[in-house]
Chains A and B, each alone.
Chain A
Amino acid sequence: MNPDFYGDALTSPFWEAARRRALLIQRCRTCGEYQFYPRPFCLKCDADDLEWVRARGTGTVYAATTVRIQISPEFEPPYIVALVDLDEGPRILSNILAPACVIGQRVRVTWKDREPDPPLPVFEPVEEG
């Protein structure tokens, strides 16, 4: 097996791209809808012709919380967990690398190294004029 293999039969393309710091999501070739996490069919139109495409990597914070308790040794509070709505549509759970975060904040993907596992997509605020 490929020593870089990570994930499962459906998600391994996502993690392979993550090693190159590219954020992939699925797009339905029939209806054009984007989805994440990956499925072997389109949740919207039920077609099974899906492709992986690179997301722009920008989005908007839909909800956020600052975690102030320690849940395990690897997480040092306080830190921000948020749901981010990617501009293409899919919603993903992630971290916001900032001291504080409000709902509606525009964010952009960045990557958290986790050797030997692939890097994790996290987000940082962007200012837009």
Chain B
Amino acid sequence: MSDWGQRGIYVAGVAETPLGDVPDHTEFSMVAVAAREALAEAGMTLKDVDAIFTHKMGEEGSVQVGEFLGIQPRYADSTDLGGASFEAFVHHALVAISAGRCDVALVVYASRQRSKRTRRKVRPEPDLTIAAQFEAPCGLPFPLGHYALVAARHMHQYGTTPEQLAEVAVAARAWAQRNPKAWSRDPLTVVDVLASPMICDPLHRLDCCLVTDGGGALVITNGNRARDANKRPIRVLGAGESHAQWHTSQTPDLTVTPGVVSGREAFRMAGITPADVDVLEPYDSFTITVLLALEDLGFCAKGEAGPFVERGRLAPGGKLPAMTSGGGLSYNHPGAFGLLLIVEAVRQLRGEAGERQVSNPRIAVAHGCGGLLSTAATVVLASE
């Protein structure tokens, strides 16, 4: 049994980039804003950083980020696990810092997918990949169509209803109404979700996340360096990651995600169970994504997430506060949302969440997932 993580690894600083519609920036200037703000929280500057972790910042992303920020790292990671990359980066940073291969890890991301209108409904495929030969000709919208198939199967297999899916969007919106940075803050009801246009049965437009610009930064370090932080450092108790299929046809069971593995690994390392979790930040790319996360992380049994989310369980005042920023459904969704899940979890644990603050949370879980429910990574954070 290794002692990786047992000596104390901390998130010592977090920040959002500008969010929403950001026409007056580049992705790199956005990253610079967030990185310097997160480092200031940690009582550090860019000169302290010796490890870079980034996703979708272009080819050899960590190289491009390193050059722009003036950092020559001794540890670099541009792993692509889609929206789950950032929870995986916490996992990787925990291992690297514990092994003494770096001391101050900077995790950054920014996207201008909204202002640049780069979001596509078809996954670009070079000629003659397996996807181009066998899947693209079917016209399944990417990634929405895969999630629609998942929701259809979950409804068929377990009796999950459109109303139960809508409960997830309604809970996210109720949190967003308490977050001044949230993109969508108008009141929302189950009836409103069901009345929004059906775009890919059984998913309505309001079962789907936003398309915004945005991003953020995290600073991860060891206990010695975290002591200098200007804000309360948040301990990383556990982390895990996994992935499954790339192509829709290769999904053995549409109702099960690699979150089963990432959650088991993270919870086991942290020595916690779902009952210990005070705040949950699940990746809400679509309403169905949250139902599967609740099941795969063990908050309820497989197939029972529909009834589980009824009566506002995830909403403000509910038994399991979840998506407390307003989530990808109502706060912001800059293409890969996983970094902002961790930002929100840290702010909740520090007690900085203002109107949306959960009462005295001790343990928060950020659960990223990406692709076609292809990837998952889970991080358990604690306020002490």
Measured between beta carbons, the chain B residues less than 8 angstroms from A91 are 249-251
Q: Are B135 and A65 in contact (CB under 8 A)?
A: no
Cα(A87)–Cα(B302), bound, Å:
27
The answer to whether B197 has its CB under 8 Å from any CB of chain A is yes
The answer to whether B191 has its CB under 8 Å from any CB of chain A is no
Residue of B nearest to A114 (CB): B137
Q: Are B198 and A93 in contact (CB under 8 A)?
A: no
Q: Are A92 and B249 in contact (CB under 8 A)?
A: yes
Having A79-B139, A83-B149, one finds 6 other A-B pairs with CB under 8 Å, namely A63-B254, A66-B200, A74-B139, A83-B254, A93-B134, A93-B135
The answer to whether A103 has its CB under 8 Å from any CB of chain B is yes
Binary contact track B238-259/A, C-beta < 8 Å → 1, others 0? 0000000001111100100000
Binary contact track A8-37/B, C-beta < 8 Å → 1, others 0? 100100010000000000000000000011
Q: A7-B128, A93-B249 are in contact. Are A68 and B199 (CB under 8 A)?
A: yes
Q: Taking beta carbons and an 8 Å cutoff, which residues of B are in contact with A?
A: 121-122, 128, 130, 133-135, 137-142, 145, 148-150, 152-153, 156, 197-202, 247-251, 254
User: Chain A's interface: helix, strand, loop or mixed, by majority?
Assistant: strand
Residues of A in contact (CB 8 Å), total 31
Q: Are A65 and B156 in contact (CB under 8 A)?
A: no
Summed over the interface, the residue pairs from A and B with CB atoms below 8 Å come to a total of: 90
Measured between beta carbons, the chain A residues less than 8 angstroms from B137 are 114, 120
The answer to whether A69 has its CB under 8 Å from any CB of chain B is yes
Cα(A47)–Cα(B201), bound, Å:
40
Q: How distant is A83 from chain B, measured CB to nearest CB, in Å?
A: 6
Q: Are B140 and A93 in contact (CB under 8 A)?
A: yes
Residue of A nearest to B254 (CB): A63
Measured between beta carbons, the chain B residues less than 8 angstroms from A71 are 121-122, 139, 141-142
Q: Are A37 and B141 in contact (CB under 8 A)?
A: no
Measured between beta carbons, the chain A residues less than 8 angstroms from B141 are 67, 69, 71
A-B pairs with beta carbons under 8 Å apart, 17 shown = A7-B128, A8-B133, A62-B153, A65-B149, A67-B139, A67-B140, A67-B145, A68-B197, A71-B122, A71-B141, A83-B149, A83-B248, A83-B251, A92-B249, A93-B134, A93-B140, A93-B247
Q: A92-B249, A93-B249 are in contact. Are A68 and B134 (CB under 8 A)?
A: no
Q: How distant is A91 from chain B, measured CB to nearest CB, in Å?
A: 5
Measured between beta carbons, the chain B residues less than 8 angstroms from A68 are 197-201
Q: Are A81 and B145 in contact (CB under 8 A)?
A: yes
Residue of A nearest to B154 (CB): A63
Cα(A64)–Cα(B148), bound, Å:
8
Measured between beta carbons, the chain A residues less than 8 angstroms from B130 are 11, 37
Measured between beta carbons, the chain B residues less than 8 angstroms from A36 are 249
Residue of B nearest to A37 (CB): B130
Q: Are B134 and A92 in contact (CB under 8 A)?
A: yes
The answer to whether A95 has its CB under 8 Å from any CB of chain B is yes
Cα(A65)–Cα(B134), bound, Å:
17
Cα(A71)–Cα(B201), bound, Å:
15
The answer to whether A2 has its CB under 8 Å from any CB of chain B is no
Contact of A83 among B122, B199, B249 (CB under 8 A): B249
Cα(A68)–Cα(B156), bound, Å:
20
Contact of A65 among B121, B133, B148, B251 (CB under 8 A): B148
Measured between beta carbons, the chain B residues less than 8 angstroms from A66 are 200-201
Q: How distant is B244 from chain A, measured CB to nearest CB, in Å?
A: 14
Residue of B nearest to A93 (CB): B249
Q: A69-B200, A72-B122 are in contact. Are A63 and B133 (CB under 8 A)?
A: no
